Structure 1
Amino acid sequence: MKSARVYPCAALLSRGDLRDVQYAAPTTTPIPRKFSLRDSQSHVIDQDGMPICVACAICAIAESQPFFDGVDLSECWVYERRANSGRGMELRDALKIMKKQGTCVNACFPISNKCLQKLCSPARMNKEAEQYRIGSYHRVYYDLPGTMFANKLPVFAAVPVYDASWRSDGKIKMPSGKFLGYHAIVITGYDLDNKVFEFKNSWGDDWGDDGYGTLPLSYPVPEAWIVKPKEHEPQPEPEKAVTITSYKVVKSFFGARLILNIESSQEFKMSVQPSVFPFPRYIHKGSNTVAVYVPYKFNHVTHLMFMFKGRSGAEIIFVRLFEVTAKLS
């Protein structure tokens, strides 16, 4: 018999932060009609009524391939270190903890004891946590199917829960009924023909399809992140690392919108000066199409400084001249 329970929904939407790196979707390429990462995920856990869905979801990602496959990580460790003193946790907070501190194994701080009992010394847990840290993470605002397929990685997300929409069989309908709060999940795939996302839940394997459910593609997803494994990044050769292959300037309410086609040999954070919105863009390895907004003047030649910073600290800076004329398209 499938579980009919709905646990407390304690995911807190992350507050705005201009330092967030936004994912720049790859140039348009066909994606398969159906895609799933379910086979590369760890076992489904049961948060057992505790408000720890955010910690459960980020640990589920870290336990999957190509992260720490087969390692049972402690959700309690992550939740205990949250910045929020009350109930619940922001997704960005969990990402920061997993990137900077990591988490120990579940055997040291088990979820089975309601996060009340630590079975290892603090020194051991701190040392162990350093081994299980994630790499970079990037916020995704659109094209979740394309993002998953391009990266071959699941999506860390928060979704609203409504009492009439969330069913015990895991087949979630469009929002209806009473709003219960936000819940953190791991989106593991999509099916364009049936118009659904596949997701991993943390309400036990007796919920839904052995712990998995589906959401309509049009279901609201107010917060989503792509998370990458921690890896060594070699120093790039500056003259070969980044190339702006072409660009187009169009008129915009915010000034001039500069659409760039960029080829990159590795992952970078790109920032531009001067810029209307000075937050960085995420550049992935390969082809990218990125839009930036710059101050606009008729028949004016604008000097723009582009800065590309790699995770290893390698930085590339160069200046390009863009003539922003009255004949904007």
Structure 2
Amino acid sequence: MLIHFLFVFIISLLLTRLIRYYAVARNVLDIPNQRSSHSTPTARGGGLAIVLVFYSACVYLFLTAQISSAWFYSFSATLLVAVIGFCDDHTPIASRWRFLTHLCSAFLALYFFNGLPLLLIPEPFASLLGSSTLIMGWLSYIPLVIALVWILNLFNFMDGTDGIAASEAVFVSAALAAYLLNIDTSLFMVSISLTAAALGFLIWNWPKASIFMGDVGSGFLGLVLGILILLASQQLAVLLYCGLILFGLFIVDASYTLLVRIKTGQKWYSAHCSHTYQRVAKLHGHLTVLKMCWAINLLWLLPISWLVFLHPTAALLGIFIAYLPLFAIAHHFKAGQAASTHEI
């Protein structure tokens, strides 16, 4: 396991550097504008290293019979998102085509591993329904496709400052791997493969970043992490709620910001820099944002997810407790409000 992790990490590290050379040579650069959190042109598209290395690891695990064909085909479906993201990094693609690709990729991934046939019902709803589980079947597909597409896009939204998206991928996948170690060895290997691939890229993306992830990596990572959480919940139902807690930093910031923009009549679908992390980055810099994110993840969200893991019936209470201060932080920094209407 350790050799596998180190090998994936080293290949990701080296490949990210090669992609940076390619991006600079082909002028695939992120040019600063009024919405940017950086001040100098920077290579982008480094997330391609994560895609190639993680998928290669999946191919290896499949060929050595460490993961099932269903799981392999599901992760293969995520390549659709990576491909359209790669194209968009080079030449802008209409949002309708990106959205259609996201829907198709999410549906195919769910189809191959049969969605979420069984859902754990925590208290107090379990008492009201008279059952702690709910059989979903095909009924799970519509909400799960919507959820996966949202996670995919929120990961894209949150990839706006040095190291934040790669750090989140490392944190969530590593935490899931820790839960899965004694539950499912196959999914554990997939999780540590993603951790190693994202960590190799993070070395180059750490403030001050020498390369950005780009759409090729951000959308792919969001979808893969969503699939990992669903697959983990197939092995142990409570891991769905643990995963939602681990992902809380991104879910709350992106969701709160979007809701505020809709409520205040802004063009919510247009590019902006009003997320909580972007506001903090403007005031205190990229490294401070990254330190705060790691502190929240390790000292707040991880312990709560562990308590929920130990006490599954308290899952909804755990999510509420985990998310509440994150909403308070977003409110404090006036996330989502137009720049002309707020003062921090």
TM-score, L = length of structure 2: 0.25
Which one has a bigger Cα radius of gyration?
1
* Structure richer in strand, relative to its length: 1
TM-score, normalised to structure 1, is 0.26
